[in-house]
Structure formats: structure tokens, C-alpha cells
Amino acid sequence: MASNGFIELLRLADRGIKRKKGKLLANASQWQGVAFKLGGYHLVAPLGEVSEVLTLPELTPVPLSKSWISGIANVRGRVLPVTNLVSFLKLEQTQQRASEYKVLVVDKPKIFAGLQVEQVMGIYTFSQKQYEAVGLANDVLLSAYIHGRFRQDQQEWYIFMPSLLTEDSRFLEAGLS
């Protein structure tokens, strides 16, 4: 499928870098995800939950929609609604250069949605030993979509689950009432 092209390129680039460094392991205890920044947090989404990563496309505003809807875009003939996750989750905007904004595309049978994030760093690989069943404080809206974290090189990477977000009625009800 064409929408998987960018993710596959990231995966191949990551494999090439690891092969060059001699770190390519065929270990079933490894976990891979798309690493990104959002509101000062370092997050990683499982590869199976993100079908594509796009540069922020040209958006058309959607009248009578919630303020966190960035707009809609035509992506290969499909209408992609794009949500500004920083606004939806009421986080503080940290990225100033719009050229670094990316869109994580969630393409499931009943959901086709774009999640605007501040920056995508690529595909990261973690081992099970780096996993900690620790979430964020409950007063942070983001915590409802977090499923633990990984610690790598003194950095905490919280596991963001787009599937939990796309099941949330607040996310699904984007129109003004």
C-alpha cells in the first residue's frame, strides 16, 4: 500500500544504520516505534499504529469544528482530517518552526486521521529491558493515551497509543454543538 511507503523507508534507513554499526539484531525482545516530540514530551507510537508520516500538507479549514482541528487535506484522493495534538491535549507549544511539523497518519478500517505533531525523529528501537510500566500524572490529558515508557540514553520515551486516542469520544466529536 502506498501509504506505508514512508514508514518503510524509515525502517530501511534505520536497518542500514544499525547494520553499519554492527547492531542489527534479530531479537524478538525488541520493540520499534515512530519517535516524535509533542508539547515538550518525547513520545513513541507503535509502528503498527502509524501507517504513514507526512510533512504537514496544505490544509483547508473546517467550519464549525473544534479549535484543535487544523483542517482537512487531500492525500492521494482521500480526505484526511488533521488534528493538532498539542491543542487537543492542552499542552504547551514548544516547536516554533512550522517546517518541522509532521502528521502521523492513522489508517484503520473505520478511522482515517492525521495527528499533527511538532517533530518526528524517525524509527527507534527499544529492548524489553528498557520498558517501565510508568505513566504520566493523571492531571495531564496525554496520560490517558500513554502505555508505559522506555528509558534510553538518559531519555524517557513515553509510549503513545493512537488506538486509544481514536476510541475517545472527545476526539471523535470534532464538530461544534
Q: Range with the lowest mean pLDDT among 25-29, 31-35, 57-61?
A: 25-29
Cα 90 off chain centre by: 16
Instruction: Please write the tens of the pLDDT for every residue from 39-80.
Output: 999 999 999 999 999 999 999 999 999 999 999 999 999 999
Residue 50: the pLDDT is: 97
Q: What is the pTM of this model?
A: 0.82
Query: How far apart (Å, rounded) are the C-alpha atoms in residues 83 and 87?
Result: 8
